[in-house]
Each structure stands twice: as C-alpha cells, then as structure tokens.
Amino acid sequence: MRSLTTALCAAAAIVAASVAYVAVDPAGAATGRSSMRVCGAPAAKSASCQAKVVTANGVPLASTSPGGLNPADIQDAYKLTGSSSTSTVAVVDAYDDPTAEADLGVYRAQFGLAPCTTSNGCFRKVNQTGGSTLPRKDAGWAAEISLDLDMVSATCPSCKILLVEASSNSFANLGTAVNYAAGQPGVAAISNSYSGSDSAQNNNYDHPGIAITASTGDSGYGVGSPASFDSVVAVGGTSLNRAAGTTRGWTETAWSGAGSGCSSLNAKPSWQTTATQCSGKALADVSAVADPQTGVSVYDTTRYQGSSGWLVFGGTSASAPIIGAVYALGGNLAGYPASYTWGHASGLFDVTSGSNGNCPTAVWCHAGVGWDGPTGLGTPNGTAAF
C-alpha cells in the first residue's frame, strides 16, 4: 500500500505537483529498502512522472558512487553493445531541471561516454515551443529528467539528445512539447516518462515516422495515457537480474508495478493481434527494466527531499527512454514504428513469468509465452525488432 508523504521544504505550489508516494517493494523488504514516487498524483487532464527512487527509512538513498545498473549492463542485457546512431532522441518532461546538462556530464564521464553538451551540438534544452525561457524548477520532475537523459545515454551513447521542458504537467502543455519535438530535424524518437488517466486519442502524440514511447505506469494493472493512444509505443516494465551460467547472462520477469490493460477509449491498432484479447489499444507493446529493486544508476544534483548525487531509480520512467533510444538505434521508423516491432517479435526476449495484479482477462496482467500486458511482446534482443 502507498501512503501519502508530504514533500519536505517545498513551497505550496510545488507540493501540488511533487508530493511523493512511498511504496514498499516486497523484494526490498528484507534489506529495509523501499522506493518512492518522486511526482504526485496528477490532477484531471494532467500527468504524473513515473520515476521511483530507491529509499532507506523513507529518504532517497544517495551515494558518492553509482549503485545500480550502468550503461554496460543495459547494453549487455539487451545485446546493444556495438550499436550506434547519430539520430536525436527527444525527452519531453514538465518543468525545469536546472542542473540537467551538468548532471548529464557527470554521468557520462563516470562511464567513459563521450561528452554530450550544448557546445558540441549533442545536447539541447528548450521550452515547449523551442524557446530559451524555461519553466519553473520542480525537484520531482528534475529527478525524472535526470533519469531520462541518463537512460538515453546508457542505451545509445552516440545519440543526440533534445530535452523539451513543458510549462506544466498538463496534457495540453506536454502535448505542445511533443509537437515541437516532432518538428525538429533528426528526431527519431520522443520519450514520455509520464502517465495520467486513460483518455481519448490526442493528435499531439500522432507523428508517423517517429517512435513516440510512453510509460505504462507504476501502479500495477491499469490503463493510462499517453501509453493508451494508438499512435504511441506503450512501454511496460520488468525486473532484470544477472543469471550467471545462462546463454544470455540475464533473466527477466514482469515487474509487479508495471501498468497494463485494455483501453476502452482508444481504437485497437491494426498491428496488434488477437493475442491481446482486447478490442481497443492494449498495453504494453514492449518493455525494459523498471523495477527499482533492480534499478539503474542516475546522477542528479537538484535536491529531492534533501538528497542528491548518485541515486538508484526504477519505474516505467526508466523503460520508456531505454526503448526510445533502441528505436533510434534500430532505425525502422516508417509509418508507426510499433507496427514494425509487432511484425518482428522474434527479435525480442520473451518475458514469460511474473504478474502485476488481478484482472478480468489473465493475459492482461500475467506474463506468459508471447504477448502479455505487463511486458508486451518482450524486451530488446539487439535492434532487430526496432
């Protein structure tokens, strides 16, 4: 169960957007570690970021060195080592992360990745219409931004990054930011690590030729938008662990927190098959690591609840930018990129165990052979499905 925790040292205006929810993960109970959502529940017609930070005694667990999965782990687990692209991955989030570029520099230097800066043309940060006047800071969304930038870097170190900061977490502003990103030359993918209530298709998220990825959510079985839009790649989540002595070297199960289900508001895309047992858009399409207990290293110095430095994060906020970057690496973006993935599911690791709750149709919340709700068609095995 999640209990409401008042965000410390925040002005009332920021509390409304950033109040945290603490969730104890059963996998971490023995160690006393749990995880916390860094963004609060969204208002109507708005979205919440889906980042979850690992905590100890209710406080984000910061360190002076990385403690989670690193770029070499992500590339090895998903067989991406040696893949490269100079395409741009756009990251759309709400509010400003004032230390985004500096923190990204520390992350990339730590793991021997080439600098990605404004000065060398690799990194650009703009507001939702492409201007230089940035929105106000929000510590929760700033943590989300750091997670997103680091996951793009971990997955595709050679990709350029465009960070578009929406004025608020309303779908109107986030959609404006997506539209701006889609109009920029070289953008192959747009990552959206946020979710709100299931809602009808929004044309701001409909851009053929670009992989628009979105988190399915971190509350277990249930449908949210923009992942439920038929033009969007819905990205679920897994628990990823090393498995010595196996061919792959890793094993994955469905993460209990990943969102999934069958939208009653959005049409079934032509590429989704009868395997979904859903007459509308089924979530997820694909997935990647999201469990905070098998989480990723992130560097963030915009303090969240007094913590900064190296942190460990999870949530489908991690998997959405990973998958966006894999699409940039694969480059099969004609039409709606999800259709290519559905047609090339043999290029994925099928995740066949785990569950994210109870549901009326078993495949919507229980992993199994082939498509299932929590993990979709599976996780990347190289770029053949992207």
Q: Which of 60, 3, 33, 105 is nearest to 294 (CA)?
A: 33
Question: Which of 29-38, 73-82, 248-257, 333-342 bottoms out in mean pLDDT, i.e. has the lowest?
Answer: 29-38
Please classify residue 97 by burial: count the beta carbons closer than 10 Å to its beta carbon, then call 0-12 exposed, 13-18 middle and 19+ buried: buried
pLDDT at residue 19 above 90? no
Residues 315 and 257 sit within 8 Å (Cβ to Cβ): yes
Task: Name the nearest CA neighbour of 177 among 232, 227, 135, 121.
Answer: 135
Q: Which of 23-27, 301-305, 348-352 has the lowest mean pLDDT?
A: 23-27
Residues 252, 205, 80, CA angle at the centre, nearest 5°?
35
- Give the residue-averaged pLDDT of 332-359: 98
Confidence category of residue 296, pLDDT binned at 50, 70, 90:
very high
Q: Are 52 and 25 in contact (CB under 8 A)?
A: no
Cα–Cα distances (Å) from 73 to 79, 141, 149, 266, 361, in that order, read 10, 25, 17, 36, 34
Q: Write out pLDDT tens, residues 252-288.
A: 999 999 999 999 999 999 999 999 999 999 999 999 9
- Asked if residue 22 has pLDDT above 90, the reply is no
Decide: residue 196, CB within 10 A, 0-12 exposed, 13-18 middle, 19+ buried: buried
Q: What whole-number percentage of the chain has pLDDT above 90?
A: 91
Domains of the chain and CATH, by start: 12-380 (3.40.50.200)
The rounded distance, in Å, linking the Cα atoms of 179 and 378 is: 28
- This prediction's pTM: 0.93
85: left (phi over 0), alpha (psi -120 to 50) or beta: beta
Q: What's the pLDDT at 33?
A: 80
The pLDDT of residue 156 is above 90 = yes
Among residues 368, 365, 348, which one has the least CA distance to residue 357?
365
- For the chain, give the mean pLDDT: 93
Q: Which pLDDT score, from 0 to 100, does residue 31 have?
A: 53
If you ran DSSP here, which 8-state letter would residue 253 be given?
E
Listed residue (251, 344, 300) closest to 151, CA to CA: 300
Q: What is the pLDDT of residue 15?
A: 33
Is 2 a residue whose pLDDT tops 90? no
24 confidence band (pLDDT: 50, 70, 90): very low
- Closest by alpha carbon to 278, among 359, 353, 344, 355? 359
Answer yes or no: is pLDDT of 10 > 60: no
Whole-angstrom Cα distance, residue 306 to residue 7? Answer: 10
pLDDT of 185-218, one tens digit each?
999 999 999 999 999 999 999 999 999 999 999 9
- Average pLDDT for residues 279-304, to the nearest whole number? 98
Nearest in space to 364 (alpha carbons), one of 228, 194, 213: 228
